[in-house]
Amino acid sequence: MLLDDALGKFLVQLEADGRSQHTIGQYRRHVRLLGHWMAQVGHTDAISSLDHECIARFLASPTAKRRPDGQAKKATAVNCLRSSLRVFFGYLHQAGFIAQNPGRMIRRAVCGNPPPRALTPEEKDRLLATLATATGPEAERDHLLFSLMLTTGIRLSAALGLKVEDLNLDAGEITIHTKGDRVERVYLPQSACDHLRRFIGERKTGPLFTSRDGRQVCIRHIQRRFQEWLRKAGITRPLSPHSTRHSFAVDLYRRTHDLLLVKAALHHRSIASTLVYAQASGDELRKAMA
């Protein structure tokens, strides 16, 4: 069996397992990177010819360790590549397509988790101030969208999936659909409820956030809009709409110092996902040791 054929079977299995398109796309890129390296070094693309030494040579090569621009990849990015290959070859072995698993000796490198890339309080104020002074239907939509994300910590996909009927503004809450088709309840401050009431007007049904033609706005468009608003606010460092979720979590932990509360607010399944926000500052440590 050739590598491309094996990859196709693997991707079908991932889809059958209910993995997200983002996850499937990442596996596809990582396995194709291995195929690119095999072509570079003149290695046959038959999966039966791969052994653990071949995989080790690939992971030690510039193809695996460097980005297309020649810069070194982050340790976390290389770890993702290692994990993808380990799962891929584990599947092939378990499915009986290969007699031995060439990824059995792959180990993740020990590396620290980078701090969450959140907006600073000053950046948050500048972004919201810029949005508040802009005019037009799209600017009004973006203002509410990013304000809502900063206030609740919900993901962009969950926010764009909201329908008007998901709102219960009298109770101060919204119903969102998260990863794995889970349904979660998110609580709103009064200011967000007031903003939402003004925004929806007389609408009773349909997507909450729409494009000019009235359809649900797409993620790519909002990602581009977010970058435009950052530029207008004079914020030049790399940030994404997901940074609003980090900003919410960092701010909530700073105000409460309650990690379980942050976990509940973000709807994390494991506390391990929330620990990244529990980073003590030097000033806090100095005060505690005084």
Q: What is the pLDDT of residues 201-243, one digit of tens each?
A: 999 999 999 998 889 999 999 999 999 999 999 999 999 999 9
| Banded pLDDT at 22 (limits 50, 70, 90) | confident
Q: Which fold has domain 3-94?
A: DNA polymerase; domain 1 (1.10.150)
Q: Confidence class of residue 56 from pLDDT cuts 50, 70 and 90?
A: very high
**Picking from 174-183, 235-244, 262-271, which range would have the lowest pLDDT averaged per residue?**
174-183
Query: Domain-by-domain residue ranges, the chain?
Result: 3-94, 121-280
- Report the run of H or E that residue 144 belongs to, with start and end: helix 137-152
The answer to whether residue 280 scores a pLDDT higher than 60 is: no
Coil, strand or helix: which one is 182? strand
Q: Which two structure tokens, joined as six digits, stand for 164?
A: 């008007």
**Mean pLDDT on 262-282:** 82
Which one-letter amino acid corresponds to residue 76? T
Q: Is the pLDDT reported for residue 288 higher than 70?
A: no
Rounded-to-10 torsion of CA 263, 209, 203, 167:
0
| Cβ contact 40:85 at 8 Å | no
Report long-range pairs for 46-51 (Cβ below 8 Å, ≥24 apart).
46/1, 46/2, 46/3, 47/1, 47/2, 47/3, 47/6, 47/92, 47/97, 47/98, 48/1, 48/98, 48/99, 50/89, 50/98, 50/102, 51/100, 51/102
Please report which confidence band the pLDDT of residue 112 belongs to, taking 50, 70 and 90 as the band edges: low
Q: What is the pLDDT of residue 115?
A: 78
Q: What is the structure's pLDDT at 282?
A: 52
Residues in the chain: 290
Angle at 23 between CA 37 and CA 55, to 5 degrees: 30
In this prediction, residues 113-130 reach a mean pLDDT of 90
pLDDT above 90 as % of the chain: 78
- Dihedrals phi, psi of 185, to nearest 5 degrees: -105, 130
Look at residue 110 and tell me whether its pLDDT is greater than 80: no
CB 30 within 8 A of CB 80: yes
Which CATH number is 121-280 given?
1.10.443.10
The per-residue pLDDT of the chain, averaged, comes to 91
Tally of CA atoms within 13 A in the half-sphere of 283 that contains its CB: 1
pLDDT recorded at residue 286: 63
Q: How confident is the model at residue 86 (pLDDT cuts 50, 70, 90)?
A: very high
To the nearest 10°, report the CA torsion of 187, 139, 142, 189: -10
Q: In what order do the strands lie in the sheet with 173-178?
A: 167-168, 173-178, 182-187
40-44, 114-118, 124-128: which has the minimum mean pLDDT? 114-118
Q: What is the per-residue pLDDT for 218? A: 92
Q: What is the pLDDT of residues 179-197, one digit of tens each?
A: 666 788 999 999 999 999 9
Core vs surface per residue 193-211: b (16+ CB within 10 A) or e:
bebbeebeeeeeeebbbbe
H or E element that contains 76 = helix 75-94
Mean pLDDT of 68-73: 90
Question: What is the model's pLDDT at position 109?
Answer: 83
Give CA–CA dist 3/32, Å, rounded. Answer: 9
* pTM for the predicted model, two decimal places: 0.71
What is the reported pLDDT for 182?
76
pLDDT beyond 60 at 77: yes
pLDDT at residue number 21: 87
Provide the 10 A C-beta neighbour count for residue 255.
9
CA dist 162 and 30 (Å) reads 33
Question: For the chain, how big is the Rg over CA atoms in Å?
Answer: 23
For tokens 């998901």, the residue is 166
What band does 265 get if pLDDT is binned at 50, 70 and 90? Answer: very high
Q: What pLDDT is stored for residue 283 in this prediction?
A: 54
DSSP 3-state of 8? helix
**Rounded average pLDDT over 127-137:** 94
Q: Is 258's pLDDT higher than 70?
A: yes
Query: Running DSSP on this structure, what letter comes out for residue 136?
Result: S
Q: What's the mean pLDDT in 64-71?
A: 91
Q: Distance between CA 128 and CA 150 in Å, rounded?
A: 10
Region 48-77 average pLDDT: 92
Count of C-beta atoms within a 10 Å radius of residue 126: 18
Helices then strands, counting H and E runs in the chain, come out as 13, 3
